[in-house]
Structure 1
Amino acid sequence: MIVGTAGHIDHGKTSLVKALTNVDTDRLKEEKARGISIDLGFAYMPVEGAETLGFVDVPGHEKFIHTMLAGASGIDFALLVVAADDGMMPQTHEHLAIIDLLGIEYGVVALTKSDVVPKERLIQLETTIRSELAGTALRDVPIIAVSTVSGQGLAALREVIVGAARQFTRRSAAGGFRLAVDRSFTIHGAGTVVTGTVLSGMVSVDSHVTVSPSGLSARIRSIHAQNRPSEVGRAGDRCALNLVGADISKAAITRGDMVLDSSLYAPTNRIDATLRVLGCERKPIGHWFPVRLHHASTEVGARIVLLDDEPAAPGTRTRVQLVLDRPVAAAVGDRYVIRDTSAQRTIGGGRFVDLRPPGRKRRTAERRAQLDAQELIEPDRAMAALLAVSPFYLDITAFARDRAMAWKDVSALAQATGVVQLSVETSVFAMSLGHWKEFKRDLLDRLATFHADNPDLLGIGIERLRSQLEPRLPLSAFRSALQSLARSGDIGLEGAWVRLAGHEVTMAPADERFWKEIEPLLGGADRFRPPRVRDLAELFAMPESRVRQLLKLGGRMGKVHEIAHDHFFLRGTVAEMVMIAAEVSLATAEGWFTAAQFRDRVENGRKVAIQILDFFDHHSITLRRGDLRRVNRNRLDFFAGPIDGARARNVVFGGETSPVGRPDFKSGRGRETVFGGFDSHSLPPSSTNPGSSR
């Protein structure tokens, strides 16, 4: 259990901690000289029958509230200190508000200097404090009169703290490891050491971690947990981590950084959150209002974007989007506090709801439903609720990461709830069973309709089909869904086309006989330089229009592709040339190659080689820069058949293949949700807008 002090300056917080632990937490020369706490102080108290207690002593001066917040975010038990001769003072009220905003429910009030005031004063003060505590999470905590000079009440105070520690339920070590850094220093012979409170998960010696938001990688050489050498650090522990790594140094890691499991690394600069505005605020919070955001041990500038129509009035709760000056590491459900930019007062606080919110269309009914689901704390309820609202699918890999959950826990949760999972590279998307059945039925119905309207076409383009379906899955997830349906025998995949499993395109008998004569001439050893339409017309003594008509039909059926005017290549040959281009690209510096290098591999003339590459350029198979080209590896499957296991292991696929130029292509551009950027609800209001400044 971590005990944190709170209270006004010079009310005896540091002296009280020293009386309880025999540790003077004022370690800085300036603190000794001025007689006040300036930075966070730390002490430990062994407890028989329980784990060692950690104490975080915070400054009480109004100028150091930001430092107090850096220490308060990780505490479990509040030691609110009130001097009997002064009573409740400005920083006492502010510290109490912060404790309440951070959701700290356990604590005790210590009335220090109780030996210098009459008993009546103590009774009166206790009544006043009870009134102040009434509306907070600490409303029922004990109030004990103490004196660090005479020792009065110290035994009773220690007994309350120790009793709470024995009953305290240690935070669950499930989930991903996160430690909020509050100190970084160097120890001779050891190197860089960072200290902080473990917010979630567990870590062990020799684990590899990432420092966020910088992204530095490190290995943990050794651990001290609760001031003792340990092999592990768990949620709730005060830990010191000895970090080693190529770029790890005292200067590279500062207060406010987060040391975390590498799978959780995804800093964000835009967060949707709940917000409770303190009742003591003088005016409502307007749109684009500037604040200082305090979360864990970090402090960052931010702007408030209102998600409701009205300004956030004092004493009310609302939802807002926090647009940060720089990225931070966070998790859904984390608490935060906001203060004004002049650092004179605390304004409010709340919980983080969504770490990846859109920058536009924040106030739609769809978005409100998503936030209602995201706000649920229990992962199983949140997942079920998210799958029940638009867009009716969920990236459960991101869901686990943003909630600092271990993947095995989310995977088990998904299996237990019976959702359909679509694996794509490093992510897993999920749909409820009901929506998956509707999606599958709609997909098959649309394919049947397309085949009825276009009996001479092999199938519908992948992107065109995706744009017609709801939910509109990301392309990578949609491909995974198609592959699943192909494995189950419901559909067939032919490169960029999708067809029903039983659909076949056939030619008329005369066309079929003619095709069987032409097809061998397009393949074989001369497949990279097949005859043109005029050559075939001369060979078979037929009109060029008749040959062209047949090859165009073959193109619609997916048998051939027209690389240049009247120059058709078999589909398999085009796929082979794509792989040859990929091999040429891999064999050159930075992947750029010339037309001559490609020509030499296909043993073709320069003109035809350039025509082939121009065709690839048109379909984004290659990317051109002057006379050089480089293969776009995200499009290598464009002309291929279904991806088999061996090919998937050897070729990196991805991106959004789009059959531009195909006869069945219809653009869905502009219909996707746009993330990032600003709109009328995120731009700073004009100076003439009421409530825009305070």
Structure 2
Amino acid sequence: MIVGTAGHIDHGKTALVRALTGIDGDRLAEEKSRGITIELGFAYADLGGGGVTGFVDVPGHERFVHTMLAGAGGIDLALLVVAADDGVMPQTREHLAILDLLGVHRGIVALTKADLADDARRAEVTAQIAATLAGTGLAGAAVIPVSSLTGEGIATLRDLLAVAEAETTARATDARFRLTVDRSFTLKGAGTVVTGTVQSGRVAVGDGVTVSPSGLTARVRAIHAQNLPAEVGVAGQRCALNLAGDGITREAIHRGDVVLDPALHAPTARIDAELTVLGGEPKPISTWFPARLHVGAAETGARIVPLGGPIAAGARGMVQLVLDQPVAAAVGDRYILRDVSARRTIGGGRFLDLRAPARRRQTPERLALLDAAARPDPAAALAAMLEVPPHVVDLDGFARDRGLSAQAAGALAEGAVVLVAGSRLALSQTAHRGLVAGFADTLARFHEDNPEMQGMGHERLRLALSPRLPKDGFAAFAAARIAAGAAVAEGAFLRLPGHVVRMSEADEALYARILPELTGEARFRPPRVRDMATEWDVPETYIRRVLRMAARQGRVDQIRQDHFFLRATTAEMVRIIAEVQAAAPDGWVTAAAFRDRVQNGRKVAIEILDFYDRHGVTLRRGDLRRINPHRADLFGG
């Protein structure tokens, strides 16, 4: 169990931790000389249950609230400290508000310096504490009078902490590993050491890890878990990791960095989140409101963009946080916002989407998606997200941003349809059935309206369907429909298996007249459209329309505005380029060498080569070309 202290300056937090553990949390000379905690202090003790409880002693001074926030993340129980002589003070209330916003709802109140108060004063302050806690997550918490000087109440408090430790539920260790760094230092003979709380998963000696957001990679050389040497560190423990790797130094790793499973490294600077604004905020939170964001032990500047209009004091709403610097975070992480002068806490909440869009962020569809993503259970969130537009979820990104293990991510997909593209895309069964039906219906209507065309372009078809898949997802879906025999691919077009391209009788008659002009010895230098139009006294636009129709059917290819070649000739010329390339000493084809093989003019030869360049059949370097082996069969060559 991790216990975090909270409370006003000079209310005896450090002395209380020392009385409970025998360890002085103040470790800096300045702290000892001034008698206040400036940096985080740590202490460990066996409270009698056989386990080791970690104590995080945080500063109470208003100037060091940002340091308090660095230690508040990941605690299991709050030890709220209120001095009997002072009572509830400003930092008591701010710390309490922060704990509430961070979702810390287990706690005990230590009424310190009890030796300075009589029974009446104790009763008065106890009532004040109860009123302050009312309406918060710590409402009803036990209040224990203690004195670090006389020892009064220390044993009782230790017993209560032991009971709380026994009731602490172990955090899931089957998630991927994340540790928030609150200290980085160098140990002589060991090297770089970082300390922090393990937020999820487990780490073992020898594991490879990544420091995020910097992206430095490291190996874990040694581990101390709850201040004891260990082979493994698990979620809920305070751990010290001895790291080794290129660039791994004390200066390279900062408070707020996260040491994590390499699969989770995906920093973000734009996050959609829930925000609860504290009741004392003087003005509603409006667009581009500046603030300081605290998440884990990280701190950075942020701009707040409310997604449903300004958020008044005491209210809750959806916001987008645009950060000055990327942070390493996870969906569900709790955060705090303070004003830019660091004098007050504005509010806080939890992250909902780490890949927030910069545009169309306030549409009803987007807000519905965030409502679905807000469900704390990943399976419930995924199911809800699949029921609202766009009805498609990047399953790999969903699992990564929630820190889920590969096994947990696989279990999430049960009951959904998964398309494997660049990543795995999940659709609900209902959405997939609609997509399959829409695919067939859209192609059928297109064939009915355009009988002369060979099929519908991939991109046009993708944009016509709902749900609209990303390009790589649609490619995977189309490939599945083709494999199932429900569609046929012809170049850049898709058609239904039974579709046969048709031209009118008059169009077919004109094409039959054109065909001899494109074959035989003259196939590499066919007449231009305007030449045929002049010779036959047929409108040039009519001839060009029929040839373009034939091109859509895959019979011919339009090399330039006025030049059409038979598809068989187009394929043959690809083979000729390959032969010229094979015969060239340097393996590159010149326009002159190609011109000589097809016995054409230089201008037309270059037009033909440019055509292949545009389609990726040839790769160009200056005036030289060679066949692209990945596209050589585009025209059947």
Q: TM-score range by the shorter chain?
A: 0.7 to 0.9
Q: 1:493 and 2:489 equivalent?
A: yes
- CA contact 1:551–1:568 (8 Å) conserved in 2: no
Partner of 1:639: 634
Equivalent residues of 1:271, 1:321 under 8 A apart: yes
1:333 aligns with 2:329: no
Q: 1:63 to 1:576 in 2, by over 3 A?
A: farther
| Preserved contact between residue 41 and residue 56 of structure 1 (Cα < 8 Å) | yes
Match of residue 531, structure 1, among 524, 529, 535? 524
Which of 434, 439, 447 aligns to 2:435? It is 439
Give the secondary-structure state (helix, strand or coil) at the position aligned to 1:437. Answer: helix
Give me the whole-angstrom Cα distance separating, in 1, the residues matched to 2:126 and 2:85: 12
Q: Secondary structure at the match of 1:241?
A: strand
Which segment is superposed worse, 132-141 or 602-611? 602-611
| Equivalent residue for 1:464, pick from 452, 460, 483 | 460
Counterpart of 1:276, as a letter, is T
Q: State the secondary structure of the residue aligned to 2:477.
A: helix
Amino acid at match of 1:322: L
Q: Verify the 8 A CA contact 1:195 1:240 in the aligned structure 2.
A: yes
Inter-CA distance 98–625: structure 2 relative to 1 (3 Å threshold) = farther
User: Relative to 1, partners in 2 of residues 1:314 and 1:462: Cα closer, same or farther, differing over 3 Å?
Assistant: same
Which position in structure 1 is the counterpart of 2:244?
244
Q: Given the superposition, is the C-alpha separation of residues 209 and 518 from structure 1 closer, same or farther in structure 2, using an over 3 Å criterion?
A: farther
Please say if 1:502 is aligned against 2:493. Answer: no
Alignment of 1:110-129 (within 5 A): 110-129=110-129
Q: CA deviation at 1:637?
A: 9.5
| CA distance in 2 between partners of 1:519 and 1:43 (Å) | 89
Q: CA deviation at 1:14?
A: 0.9
TM-score with structure 2 length normalisation?
A: 0.88
Map Cα deviations across residues 204-255 of structure 1 (whole Å, 9 max, x no partner).
2222222211122222222221112222222111111122222221111100
Matched-pair identity in %: 53
Query: 1 or 2 for the larger relative contact order (CA 8 Å, sep ≥6)?
Result: 1
Query: Equivalent of 2:590, from 589, 596, 619?
Result: 596
Report the CA distance between 1:496 and its aligned residue: 1.0
Cα distance between partner residues in 2 of 1:61 and 1:34: 12
Does the 8 Å CA contact 2:209/2:218 hold for their aligned counterparts? yes
Q: Using the alignment, how far apart are the partners of 2:167 and 2:576 within structure 1?
A: 66
SS at match of 1:285: coil
Q: Note the C-alpha offset of 1:547.
A: 11
Q: 2:417 aligns with which of 417, 420, 441?
A: 420
SS of match in other structure, 1:533: coil
Cα distance, 1:256 vs. partner? 0.8
Q: CA deviation at 1:567?
A: 5.1
| Pairing of 1:280-679 with structure 2 (within 5 A) | 280-309=280-309, 311-415=310-414, 418-425=415-422, 427-505=423-501, 531-534=524-527, 554-564=550-560, 565-566=562-563, 568=565, 570=567, 577=574, 596=590, 610-619=606-615, 636=631, 639=634
Query: How far 1:185 sits from its partner (Å)?
Result: 1.1
Match of 1:665 in 2: none
Matching residue of 1:135: 135
Q: 1:169 to 1:515 in 2, by over 3 A?
A: farther
Deviation at 1:463, TM superposition (A): 0.8
Instruction: Give the C-alpha shift of residue 77 in structure 1.
Output: 0.6
Letter paired with 1:72? A
Going from structure 1 to structure 2, the CA distance change for 1:412 and 1:191 (only over 3 Å counts) comes to: same
Q: Deviations over 1:87-137 (max 9, x none)?
A: 111111111111111111111111111112212111111111011111111
Counterpart CA distance in 1 for 2:592 and 2:384 is 53
1: distance between equivalents of 2:326 and 2:595? 48
Partner of 2:221: 221
Deviation at 1:68, TM superposition (A): 0.2
The 8 Å contact of residues 181 and 254 in structure 1, kept in 2 or not, is answered as: yes
Equivalent in the alignment of 1:203: 203
Q: How far apart in 2 are the matches of 1:205 and 1:597? A: 62
For the structure 1 residues 142 and 470, does the alpha-carbon distance in structure 2 shift closer, same or farther, using more than 3 Å as the test? same
Distance in 2, Cα, partners of 1:579 & 1:37: 81
Structure 2, unpaired ranges of 5+ = 582-586
Contact 2:25 2:41 in 1 (8 A): yes
CA distance in 1, matches of 2:546, 2:149: 104
Mapped to 1, the partners of 2:264 and 2:151 lie a distance apart of 47
Tell me: CA distance 1:622–1:352, structure 2 relative to 1, closer, same or farther (3 Å).
Answer: farther
Q: Residue type matched to 1:399 in 2?
A: F
> What's the offset of the Cα at 1:631?
10
The worse-fitting range, judged by mean Cα deviation, of 135-144 and 605-614 is 605-614
Pair member with larger Rg: 2
In structure 2, how many angstroms separate the alpha carbons of the residues matched to 1:278 and 1:630?
67
Matched, 1:79 2:79: yes
Q: Which runs of 5+ in 1 are unaligned?
A: 523-528, 585-592, 642-694
Match of residue 689 from structure 1: none
**Separation in 2, partners of 1:365, 1:2:** 41
Counterpart residue type for residue 320 of structure 2: Q
Distance change >3 Å, CA 596–CA 185, structure 1 → 2: farther
| Partner of residue 168, structure 2 | 168
Q: CA deviation at 1:283?
A: 2.6
Counterpart check, 1:25 vs 2:25: yes
- Report Cα offsets for 1:64-95 as digits up to 9, x if no partner: 00000000012111011111111111111111
Distance 1:232 1:354 in 2: 31
SS of aligned partner of 1:351: strand
Alignment-mate amino acid for residue 138 of structure 2: L
CA distance in 1, matches of 2:299, 2:69: 9
Letter in 1 for 2:464: Q
Q: Is the 8 A contact 1:178 1:260 kept in 2?
A: yes
Distance 2:293 2:513 in 1: 74
- In structure 2, relative to structure 1, the CA distance for the partners of 1:373 and 1:547 (3 Å cut) is closer
Counterpart contact for 1:203–1:233, Cα < 8 Å: yes
1:191 match: 191
Residues 186 and 597 of structure 1: CA distance in aligned 2, closer, same or farther (over 3 Å): farther
Contact 2:616 2:631 in 1 (8 A): no
Asked if 2 retains the 8 angstrom alpha-carbon contact of 1:50 and 1:166, the reply is: no
- Contact map agreement 2:289 2:304 (CA 8 A) in 1: yes
Would the aligned equivalents of 1:578 and 1:636 in 2 still touch at CA under 8 Å?
Answer: no
Residue 256 (str. 1) matches residue 256 (str. 2): yes
**1:531–1:567 contact (8 Å) kept in structure 2:** no
Q: Tell me which amino acid in the other structure corresponds to 2:187.
A: I
Please give the per-residue CA displacement for 1:514-558, whole angstroms capped at 9, x wherever unaligned.
Answer: 999999969xxxxxx9623249xx9xxx98999999975652222
SS at match of 1:408: helix
Q: What SS is found at the alignment partner of 2:98?
A: helix
Amino acid at match of 1:639: L
Change beyond 3 A, Cα 1:282–1:555: closer
Question: 2:464 and 2:203 mapped to 1: Cα distance?
Answer: 47
May I ask how many residue pairs the two structures share in their alignment?
Answer: 617
Q: Which amino acid aligns with 1:400?
A: A
